[in-house]
């Protein structure tokens, strides 16, 4: 039973790694599409969100089977439920990448982000990518040192968001209301992505160490 439980939990872990890789790829592709007004690229991100949702359903099904067949208790049970929480966060990260791609589509063929903000969105995307990469790594390798770094990455994202808002609300902003509204919503998508990643990271630490 114990062996079987371990094997099932590992399989759930593998599905979560696939999800983490997929949401990382999605945000990276969404950013590229956003900054280059690449319609096909953005459409691919939107289409592939369904794959991420399907992976999450697979996690849910596997967890339900595991609970039904093995009726884990105590810390084993907590680990299983924690896997579900990680899946929920990753699924939401996929949605946020999709939102970025849809913003690109909404303004196509124009570029949604004024040249002045390309740098800050590039940095936000880098942090998002680093965070998603760490989650993948931590899930796959159980290297919890990396998981603990996630909070710092999230602080950096918050700083960037604050700096961006200062730009938007500065009297020298010349790109008008639409570009400001787009940028504010986009910044929020990246910031929420990082938040969910940190949340997932906390759950992963728990999954690996049993300590929250």
Residue 29 or 205: the one with the smaller Cβ distance to its own copies is 205
Query: DSSP character for 113?
Result: S
Minimum CB distance to its own copies, residue 123 (Å) = 20
Instruction: Report the nearest approach of its own copies to the CB of residue 134 (Å).
Output: 23
Least Cα distance to 100 among 133, 129, 138, 137 occurs for 129
- Please state the closest distance from residue 145 (CB atom) to its own copies, in A: 27
Short-list 116, 96, 90, 92, CA closest to 31:
96
Binding site for its own copies (CB under 8 A): 60, 63-64, 67-68, 71-74, 77-78, 81, 84, 88, 165, 168-169, 173, 176-178, 180-181, 184-185, 188
**Of residues 53 and 88, the one with the C-beta less far from its own copies:** 88
Q: Which is nearer to its own copies, 91 or 153 (CB)?
A: 91
CA distance 87 to 27: 17
Name the token pair of 121: 């969105």
Nearer to its own copies, 73 or 115 (CB): 73
Please name the residue that has the structure tokens 């680093």.
130
Minimal distance in Å, beta carbon 93 to its own copies? 14
Q: How far apart are CA 155 and CA 212, in angstroms?
A: 20
């Amino acid at each position: 039973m114990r062996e079987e439980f371990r094997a099932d939990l590992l399989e759930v872990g593998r599905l979560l790694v696939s999800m983490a890789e997929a949401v990382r790829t999605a945000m990276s592709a969404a950013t590229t599409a956003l900054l280059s007004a690449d319609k096909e690229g953005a459409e691919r991100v939107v289409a592939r969100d369904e794959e991420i949702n399907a992976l999450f359903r697979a996690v849910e099904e596997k967890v339900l089977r595991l609970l039904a067949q093995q009726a884990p208790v105590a810390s084993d049970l907590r680990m299983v439920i924690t896997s579900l929480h990680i899946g929920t966060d990753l699924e939401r990260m996929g949605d946020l990448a999709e939102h970025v791609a849809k913003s690109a589509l909404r303004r196509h063929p124009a570029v949604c982000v004024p040249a002045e903000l390309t740098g800050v969105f590039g940095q936000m995307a880098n942090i998002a990518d680093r965070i998603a990469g760490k989650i993948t790594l931590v899930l796959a390798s159980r290297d919890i040192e990396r998981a603990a770094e996630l909070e710092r990455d999230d602080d950096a994202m918050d700083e960037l968001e604050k700096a961006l808002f200062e730009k938007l609300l500065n009297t020298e902003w010349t790109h008008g209301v639409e570009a400001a509204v787009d940028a504010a919503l986009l910044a929020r998508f990246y910031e929420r992505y990082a938040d969910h990643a940190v949340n997932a990271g906390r759950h992963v630490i728990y999954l690996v160490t049993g300590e929250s």
